[in-house]
Structure formats: C-alpha cells, structure tokens
Chains A and B, each alone.
Chain A
Amino acid sequence: MGVALRFSRKHLGIPYALFLAVFVLFPLVLIVIYAFTDANGVPTFNNFTDFFSRSSNLYVLLISFVLAVLTTAICLLIAYPVAYILARSGAKKRSVYLLLFILPMWINFVLRTAAMKELLFALDGLGVYNVTDWYFVNTVIGMVYDYLPFTILPIYTVLIKIDKNVIEASNDLGANSAQTFLRTTLPLSMPGIVSAITMVLLPTTTSYVISDTLGNSKVTIIGKLIENQFNIGTADSWHTGSAISLILLFFIFGTMLLSGKFTENTNTRGGGLW
C-alpha cells in the first residue's frame, strides 16, 4: 500500500540540479558574500569603491576590454571566410578541412601558447618580429590563435544550415553575389556570429596564461588581477578578488544581454550553438 514510485523524465535532471547547486550556485553565493563584506565579516561597499578608485585597476579593465574586442574582431575576420569556404566545399573535402581547423583544439592550450612563444622568438631571430617590445601584439596573436576554432565552429554550423534554395532565390530576384551575401547570407548567419562572440569575448578577459606567457608579464588582464588577489593571501584580498569577479560577471552579463537582443532581431530560429 506504499506510495507508488513514479519515475518521470523530470527526475533525470536531478544529478545536474545537484551539481548546479553545489558547484555553481553555492560558490556564487560565497563570492557575493565575500564581495560585500570586509575581513571582519562586516557588510561594506569598500571592495568596489576601492577597485574603481585605483587608476591601475581601471587601466587593467580597459586593457582587458581592448584585448577582448580586438581578439574577437580579428577572430571573426579570419573565421568567417574560413567557415564560408568550409560550408561551400564538397562533403568529402569538408570533413578533412574541418579536422585541420579543429585539430589544434586537441592539444593542451598551455602547450600551444608555449609553442607560439617559440615561434615568435624564431621570427624575432629572423629579424621580422620583435618579441620583447611588442608584448601586446604577442598577446593578441596568442589569443587569436587559441580561440580561432571556437569562432569557426559556430559560424560554420549556421552557414551549413542555410537552405541553398534561399541563396538561389536571392540570385533569381536580381541580387548578385555581393548583394546576396549582404542581404541574405550575413543576416542568416548572425546567430552564429553572436555565438562566436560570446565564445571568445569572455575567455579572452580571463586567459592570463596567454597574456603571462606571451605578454612577458607586461600585459595584465582582469583574470590575472583576480588570480593575484587570491594568491596574495592578505586579510581582505579574497574579498577584493570576489568583488572584481562580480564586476567581470556584470560586464559579461551586459554583453550577453546585448547579443541576445541582437539574435532576437535577426529572427532566425534554431541557429547558433545554443
């Protein structure tokens, strides 16, 4: 006469919900608590006001932002044509090309970054490059190199789903290749571009391994700043670090909202990575 055990599809979500609670929600709450308290546990906004009152911090924020935008822009400029060519090539060739572009993702990215450093030094040795002085350029090159596959894939998946008849319809209605691209292909691939932006913009602000290795420790990004706070170990450094994390979170959330709105406007269903 006991209660019948009903197992519905909903219950399959339990493990993930648990995981989410323990490893995402709980730490987030901790960060929020840390960010809004001082070393003695007294609620305060000082962590934030301190951050914004120091010009060096604002400089880091600016550098991170410039680096992220620049990297994303360069990635898109390289990735779009690549994805376009991939999507247009024959089925057999396509899988080979795709593998070539994804292959670097299978190699540890610290290793890849170190390899890039060696490559740049080699170029320096040939006299065509200047590793020691162009540390910001080094960092951008490293970031672009590491995040390019993440830009190609979402754009490629969207491009390949575009109905060929729609492109033909555009030609049929009087649009030449350039007009067809601007009026049809590009708007239809917008969800992929937005996915690619979100895939690159956030990680580039925090991937301090790349900026450390290639920037000769002269390029400090916000991720490095957070790491430093947690490494110093002074009484309130954890509180400051949490505050910076929240600031970063805020900025990312802002860009996500913006891009989300953008996707909505393009009105395409089921595109992108998400």
Chain B
Amino acid sequence: MAEKIIELKKVSKIFDGTAVVDNIDLYIRKGEFVTLLGPSGCGKTTTLRMIAGFEKPDGGEILLNGKDITQIPPYLRPINTVFQRYALFPHLNVYDNIAYGLKLKKVKNVYVDKNGKQVVKYEKLSKKTIDEKVSKALKMVDLEEFEKRDVTTLSGGQQQRIAIARAIVNEPQILLLDEPLGALDLKMRQDMQIELKEMHKKLGITFIYVTHDQEEALTMSDTIVVMNDGVIQQIGTPKDIYNEPKNSFVADFIGESNIMSGTIVDNRKVRFIGHVFDMVDDFELHEKVDVVVRPEDIFIVNKDKGQVNGRIISSVFRGVHYEMTFLVGKTEIIIQDTIERDVGEEVSIIIKPDDIHIMKKEYLVNSYDGFITKDNRVAFAEGEFDCDVTKLYPGSRLDEEGYLITADNQKLDLNETPVKVEVPLDKIEIIDNEVDGTVSGEIISIIYKGDHYQVIIRTPEEEEDFVVDTEYSWNENDKVSVKIDPKDITLKLKVK
C-alpha cells in the first residue's frame, strides 16, 4: 500500500451556524483516484476547497505528506484544481493560460562558482522549458496547435481540456477536480471520463474528484467516499459501495435498490416479505434490520418454483433489461431482468444469500429532549404537544389547578420538568401545509422501503428531525407540518 498523501483529521467547516462539513476523518493514498460523492449540499465541494486551501477549516487539521498544511495559502500548496466552470483567464490566450503557473514558478538550481563553492539560485523557468511543457500538456489533452487561440472562442469541452492542461502542467502532487464534467453533454462526458482515467494512469498523480453522479464515481474511482449532510457515510471501492452499502442512504443513493424491513430470526436467517431467507451476515437475534436487495440480483421463476410468490404489476423496457415491479403482500419490489414477464402474471422470486445485504436500522424511534410547560403540555422540537403527564408518575392524577398529585398524595408542579420524549416512526401524521399541524418543517429525505416510505422532516430553527414511516409518497423540500396523537407520545423523567 502506498503511503498517505493527504489526511483530514476531525475537519469541520461551519457556514452561518450550520456545519457543512462535520468532523470528518479521511485519508487518501498516493496515486489513488478518489471520488467524493454525494447529493448537492453534502459538503463534498467544501471538503475539496479546504484541501485546495480556498477555505480554512473551523476545526481539525489537514496533513500533506504528514505535514500540517491547514494554515498554508493555496498558492504555496503543491495542489492544483480543475474548476467546475473552467475558470480560464479570459484575457489570456490558450498558451498564456496554460503557462500561467509555469511563469510564476521558480526552480532551485545549484551552480559551482569559480572558487569551487556551491551557489544555490532560485530561477524562473526558461522560455524554452515553458514552451515544451505547454505543448506537452496540450498534447495530453488532444489540443495541439491551439496555443494562439482565444479561450473565449473554444467550446465547453475544449475549455475543460485547457483547464485540465493548465492544472497538470504544474505537475502537482494532487489534482483536484470539482465536478469538471458537469457542464458537458452526455456523450462528451462519457468520453472525458475514460480520458481522465487514462490521464490518471499516465501521470500517476493523486486525483480527488467531486461529483454527484454515482455512475461517474463507479466508473472512474479506485475509492469512493460517500458523503451526506457533511458526514462521511461510507468509504470503499466502487464494488464495496455498490454491493455492501453500509446504510440505507448509501444503498438508495448508489444505484437502484429495494429496501425492506426485516427481522433476524435465527443464525444467518432473516425474515422479510413473509419468508425466511438465508444470508451471510452475522446479526443479533430478533434485531430489526433493513434488508437491501439490488433489482438485478432477484431472479424471477415460475409460480411456486421460487422462495416467495407474488404478481408482476408493471413492466418497463429499459434497453438492456426490463424493469418490473413485483408485488408481494403490500410490498413492491423492483426487479431487473432480460426476460419480460407479463403484467398480472403470478410468479415466484429467488434471492441468493450473497445478494441479501443487511443494515442496522438507523431509526427505531424518534427521541427528543423536552420539558413540561406550565399548562402540562410537552415542548420539544420547536413545538408544544398535548400529552398525558400522569404517565410520568404511575397512579398519579391532576388536580383542578393543574398540579400533579402523585399516588402517595404529593403535590408536584411539573412546570419546566425536563423529560425524554419518544414517538414511534409510524405514529406521526404528516399534514400537507405548514399551519394545521403542531410543528412545521421541510422534508429533507425520502426513502422507499418496500411497503412504505421513510420521510425525514426537519424543523427550520433547531433542525430537529421527525422520522416518519408513511404509506404516502412525499416530495423532498415540501413544506409540511406534523401532528402527534397524545397517546403516542411516551414521556420519561430525566434522571438528574
């Protein structure tokens, strides 16, 4: 294994009170092609900009070859960047754009003077050296003879190549690429993916690539770092990430997947969609888990010949395969197969033990820190909810003035009592507007789990999350409000 070239230790970046990058640890080995992958706003670009030096971390440190570079400005780092929208110098032609870094560079030359002493001089590169390097870089990106062209007359693809040439001509130790192919059309993007991969092989330098395109990441990378909400979700090879997603976010973000609820019923046996399947992971008995199965890992066989019977309810031709929806009980499962089955046909499916991926359930119950208000309601997550405070003390009751009378006749004022609040995922009602519920918020995530959706609603101020299991589909960024039946709110006294 090559040595670590760059290392991020507990790095955080805060913008306007929100941690865009939240305490991440990451190292990258020399010569690797690493992709930071995640949806927009996940912190991947900020991470890249901190490595480049454009942003200073609010916490943690960044090491380059073991040396702390956190406070070193970008122009002193042996790192170059390819920007998303090229950022070529509009006042310079192609040659001067590429030579920009070379003209600034000073190299250490050692001479021997007439007394036989060694003299060290820092000198600029000669015009000839610059010429050679520029034409070599242009050759690398297939744009020979473009030296005198005005950059504003070039096409998007050509500008991107110039931007790459401008960066690699400086022979950086690390090349950073910030969604460099985002502005190109599909065909051009696919060609450039292969070219970049080849360039990486030829140059042998470390590439750190930022993208939100999972296909791009899977195609090009040696290692993928999946990020969400400023936190690293999983680090691994493309195969690992695809085949063994660590959590339902990764499973949902990388490729298509079926996510279902299951229970571990025996050693290496999991029960879901009404059948006990063999599997290869070790989990604790009776644990509630999420089961992930890729659509292409499910085989359709004739009725009664497989593990679970069900019905095909839709089928779409996708070029290489058919994408069919298989219904068993209330659960819909997406299956990709090259042989089409008719809609309405009763079939059976087989899932091999290797293809069943088990993940710990991330959310089993919503829990919050709250307190009792003076009118015996409970305040948490930016709202005040009706609740039954007598549950806090068994056998207690409320008197006319609102004081709590305990079983042994003690009179208690519950105002401001801190409590632990728990609400089951399926006991929260989502309302399609911001006013009719108790607390309003925005839907920040929605994941389909076979027979229901798991929706996360985040409150605007304190950013508390309500995780809700619902049978209805909602849209991300919808503004909604939530309502909870008092009997579904469990209160526990906080032990002081």
Using A168-B54, A173-B101, A174-B75 as known contacts, say yes or no to A268 and B91 having CB atoms under 8 A apart.
yes
Q: Do A176 and B75 have beta carbons less than 8 Å apart? A: yes
Q: Tell me if B85 counts as interface (CB < 8 A to partner A).
A: yes
Question: 19 A-B pairs, CB-CB below 8 angstroms?
Answer: A166-B89, A166-B90, A168-B74, A168-B81, A169-B166, A171-B54, A171-B73, A171-B74, A172-B79, A173-B104, A174-B101, A174-B104, A174-B170, A175-B75, A175-B100, A188-B89, A267-B150, A269-B90, A269-B152
* Shortest Cβ distance from residue A173 to the other chain B in the assembled complex, whole angstroms: 4
Q: Tell me if B83 counts as interface (CB < 8 A to partner A).
A: yes
The complex places the Cα of A163 from the Cα of B170 at a distance, in Å, of 22
Q: Tell me if A207 counts as interface (CB < 8 A to partner B).
A: no
| A34-42, A179-187, A239-247 - interface stretch | A179-187
Q: Tell me if B221 counts as interface (CB < 8 A to partner A).
A: no
Chain A residues with CB below 8 A from B83, complex form: 165, 168-169
Chain A residues with CB below 8 A from B74, complex form: 168, 171-172
Q: Which A129-180 residues sit within 8 Å CB-CB of chain B?
A: 163, 165-166, 168-176, 179
Using A169-B81, A174-B105 as known contacts, say yes or no to A184 and B75 having CB atoms under 8 A apart.
no
Q: Which A191-236 residues sit within 8 Å CB-CB of chain B?
A: none
Chain A residues with CB below 8 A from B110, complex form: none
* Shortest Cβ distance from residue B69 to the other chain A in the assembled complex, whole angstroms: 14
* Shortest Cβ distance from residue A48 to the other chain B in the assembled complex, whole angstroms: 41
- Chain B CB count within 10 A is highest, among A168, A173, A174, A267, for A173
Q: Tell me if B327 counts as interface (CB < 8 A to partner A).
A: no
Q: Tell me if A95 counts as interface (CB < 8 A to partner B).
A: no
Q: Closest B-chain residue to A165, C-beta based?
A: B87
From A169, A170, A176, contact of B73 by CB (8 A): A176
Chain A residues with CB below 8 A from B81, complex form: 168-169, 172
Prevailing SS type, chain A contact patch: helix
Q: Tell me if A266 counts as interface (CB < 8 A to partner B).
A: yes
The complex places the Cα of A183 from the Cα of B92 at a distance, in Å, of 10
The complex places the Cα of A169 from the Cα of B73 at a distance, in Å, of 13
Q: Closest B-chain residue to A163, C-beta based?
A: B87
Q: Closest B-chain residue to A171, C-beta based?
A: B74
State the interface size on chain A (CB cutoff 8 A): 22
Using A174-B101, A175-B104 as known contacts, say yes or no to A166 and B87 having CB atoms under 8 A apart.
yes
Q: Tell me if B80 counts as interface (CB < 8 A to partner A).
A: yes
Q: Do A172 and B152 have beta carbons less than 8 Å apart? A: no
Q: Which B107-132 residues sit within 8 Å CB-CB of chain A?
A: none
Q: Do B89 and A169 have beta carbons less than 8 Å apart? A: yes
Known: A172-B79, A173-B104, A174-B104. 13 other contacts (CB 8 A): A163-B85, A165-B85, A166-B90, A169-B87, A169-B88, A171-B54, A172-B52, A173-B75, A179-B75, A187-B91, A188-B90, A267-B150, A268-B91
Chain B residues with CB below 8 A from A184, complex form: 89, 91
* Shortest Cβ distance from residue A27 to the other chain B in the assembled complex, whole angstroms: 40
Q: Do B80 and A172 have beta carbons less than 8 Å apart? A: yes
The complex places the Cα of A187 from the Cα of B101 at a distance, in Å, of 17
Q: Which B40-90 residues sit within 8 Å CB-CB of chain A?
A: 52-54, 73-75, 79-81, 83-85, 87-90
* Shortest Cβ distance from residue A188 to the other chain B in the assembled complex, whole angstroms: 6
The complex places the Cα of A179 from the Cα of B89 at a distance, in Å, of 14
Q: Closest A-chain residue to B86, C-beta based?
A: A165
Chain A residues with CB below 8 A from B73, complex form: 171, 176
Closest 5 pairs between A and B when the two form their complex, measured CB to CB: A173-B101, A165-B87, A169-B87, A171-B74, A174-B104
Q: Closest B-chain residue to A191, C-beta based?
A: B91
* Shortest Cβ distance from residue B119 to the other chain A in the assembled complex, whole angstroms: 24
* Shortest Cβ distance from residue B21 to the other chain A in the assembled complex, whole angstroms: 18
Q: Do A173 and B166 have beta carbons less than 8 Å apart? A: yes
Chain A residues with CB below 8 A from B87, complex form: 163, 165-166, 168-169
The complex places the Cα of A228 from the Cα of B47 at a distance, in Å, of 69
Using A165-B83, A168-B74, A267-B150 as known contacts, say yes or no to A173 and B90 having CB atoms under 8 A apart.
no
Chain B residues with CB below 8 A from A172, complex form: 52-54, 74-75, 79-81, 167
* Shortest Cβ distance from residue B153 to the other chain A in the assembled complex, whole angstroms: 11
Using A171-B75, A173-B80 as known contacts, say yes or no to A268 and B104 having CB atoms under 8 A apart.
no
* Shortest Cβ distance from residue A215 to the other chain B in the assembled complex, whole angstroms: 40
The complex places the Cα of A269 from the Cα of B52 at a distance, in Å, of 29
Q: Do B75 and A183 have beta carbons less than 8 Å apart? A: no
* Shortest Cβ distance from residue B487 to the other chain A in the assembled complex, whole angstroms: 49
Q: Closest A-chain residue to B84, C-beta based?
A: A165
Chain A residues with CB below 8 A from B170, complex form: 173-174
The complex places the Cα of A267 from the Cα of B105 at a distance, in Å, of 25
Chain A residues with CB below 8 A from B167, complex form: 172-173
Chain B residues with CB below 8 A from A171, complex form: 53-54, 73-75
